[in-house]
Amino acid sequence: MWRPETHTFVLSVGEVTMVLEDVARIIGLPIDGEPVSGLTDNNSNFLQSQIIAIFGREPEVSSSSKSYIKLGWVRRIREAELLNTEESIRRYVRCQIFCLLGSTLFTDMSTAYAHTKYLLLLRDFERSILIVGVSMSGTSLQSNVSYITI
């Protein structure tokens, strides 16, 4: 049973605390490298240009959440990709990674939005980004790899 006030699991042998190394071993993701932190430029023109460059579409803008992107919108883009060109595959992978970052790896109170700070991770497609189950090498999409080289 999870005890939220102490952030521990209560087992028959006592309380157990999960640390980052435990999570890395369980899900197979490396934990070394640059941290994902800090704020992005919240200028709406900057964000819009980044979203268009990454996802290939003009974003659905919400004035109440200008630092967040609707994951439903990203999922619709992902599902609409034909996967018939290298850029189409890259957009699909970017959408998938963004959804994983916002809904699985770094969740917050909302499961419908992801913070725009993750856009910076997807901008340079030639750098390595952590991911579960997919790797892109050149123009081929390969599965069963615990990281992605993009």
Most confident of 23-32, 74-83, 104-113, 115-124: 74-83
Q: How confident is the model at residue 137 (pLDDT cuts 50, 70, 90)?
A: very low
* Of residues 144 and 41, more confidently modeled: 41
Q: How confident is the model at residue 107 (pLDDT cuts 50, 70, 90)?
A: confident
pLDDT score of 126: 58
pLDDT score of 42: 67
Cross-strand pairs, 143 = 134
Mean pLDDT of the chain: 75
* Of residues 101 and 95, more confidently modeled: 95
Whether the pTM exceeds 0.75: the reply is no
Q: First CA to last CA across the chain, in angstroms?
A: 39
pLDDT score of 128: 41
Percentage of the chain surpassing pLDDT 90?
13
SS3 20: helix
Q: How confident is the model at residue 114 (pLDDT cuts 50, 70, 90)?
A: confident
* Sign for the pseudo-dihedral over CA of 29, 4, 109, 81: positive
The DSSP-derived string for 76-125 is HHHHH----SHHHHHHHHHHHHHHHIIIIIS--S-SSEEEGGGHHHHH-T
Average pLDDT of the segment spanning 90-102 = 89
Spans of all domains in the chain: 1-30, 42-124
Percentage of the chain surpassing pLDDT 70?
70
